[in-house]
Amino acid sequence: MIAIITFGVLTSLVLGCQGSLSASSPTIQLITYPIDHAEGPSWDGRKNILYYVDIHTGRVFSWNYDTEEINYITLDGTVTPAVQAENPDIILVGLNRSVVAVEWDGTNAIGNQEILATVAEQFNTSRFNDGKADKEGRLWWGTMGAEDTSTGDLTPNNGVLYKITKENLGDPTVEIAPVNISNGLAWNRANDKFYYIDTPTLQVVEYDYNNTDGTISNRRVAVDVANFTSLTGKPDGMTIDIDDNLWIALYGGGAVIHANPRTGELLQVVALPARDVTSAMWGGPNLDILFVTTSRVSLTDEEKKYYPAAGGVFAIRHLHTKGLPVFNAKIVDSI
């Protein structure tokens, strides 16, 4: 059975679910003010901080779980993803096509910055789009082709998924190419499966994962969103829970979906008051809150009236599962 959770009227910052649901049913809370294109949530449990970005304005944000305080820094270019380093005062940011180490603790003023690597010289109009660190601290970051902001058209096959380590900064390893929009990725609990999305394909693919040398093999389609004919939108960012089920943001679909990658089955749909849902990440002290980012950048002025919360970050609680710890990047010690 598929559980479908819908939303009610926005009252203050809390969305109540429609119908006579129990107290343990999912609740949806808007926790940040809307920005143009919120993306790339990453939870740092050392500080109880959620990092996220506003891609096109160059801003990297932090939301503090304990104080609910929001801070941000601004870089010169498009920014995504933002991944915390082993050094708690450094974050690694995708700035255009470069990996940049930035001194920032999520609260105080920005410090030093250093470009560590630049990718995709052959696709000089592409940019980074999504990425995470693996268990060993290697970066798995992907790019996408250029967008025509007036039409929404994308340059196809201009994206690449790279593996970036401390040793290969001058020549990051190409893992998957070509791709269109390199997007959501996740590792299972045993760390022997790797999941990946190239958005226009509508598919989540699975690879066998070798953690020792950081290699992938034996590609297969794990989830095909095209099979979920009751839904609209395309798969965007993604995370995984302790049951090894995926939580996938649907851009243009107004929801985050819960799917079983072993069977391809759709388990749950959680609707949000935003048409364009961009990514999801487990966080909170117990890793049992699903933080979901959304966008308003493609909405018309009239649509923004219909989706006033679009562009905000939402916290979904009572989902009866939790996430896995987020890995820190280990490619730079200091700058």
- For residue 143, being part of any structural domain is answered with yes
- For residue 173, being part of any structural domain is answered with yes
- For residue 333, being part of any structural domain is answered with no
- For residue 206, being part of any structural domain is answered with yes
Report helix, strand or coil for 201.
helix
β partners of residue 317: 27
- For residue 323, being part of any structural domain is answered with no
Q: Which residues are catalytic?
A: 236
- For residue 327, being part of any structural domain is answered with no
* CA 25 to mean position of chain CA atoms: 24
Do 117 and 162 contact (CB within 8 A), yes or no?
no
Is the peptide bond prior to 235 cis by the omega test (within 30 degrees of 0)? no
pLDDT at residue number 70? 98
> Whose CA is closest to 292, among 66, 63, 38?
38
Q: pLDDT by residue (tens digit) across 97-127?
A: 999 999 999 999 999 999 999 999 999 999 9
Q: pLDDT by residue (tens digit) across 23-64?
A: 578 999 999 999 999 999 999 999 999 999 999 999 999 999
With vertex at residue 322, the alpha carbon angle to CA 321 and CA 324, rounded to the nearest 5 degrees, is 140
* Residue found under tokens 């690879």: 207
Looking at residue 292, which CATH number applies to its domain? 2.120.10.30
Contacts of residue 57, defined as CB under 8 A and 6 or more positions apart, other chains included, come to 35, 36, 74
pLDDT at residue number 16? 41
- For residue 324, being part of any structural domain is answered with no
Q: What is the pTM of this model?
A: 0.93
pLDDT at residue number 21? 45
pLDDT at residue number 25? 85
CA distances from 152 to 4, 145, 174, 289, 299 (A): 30, 12, 27, 32, 12
Domains in the chain, number = 1
- For residue 234, being part of any structural domain is answered with yes
Do 24 and 50 contact (CB within 8 A), yes or no?
no
pLDDT at residue number 248? 99
Residue numbers of the chain with a pLDDT score lower than 70: 1-23, 149-152
User: Range of 164's domain?
Assistant: 3-317
* Residue found under tokens 């990946």: 196
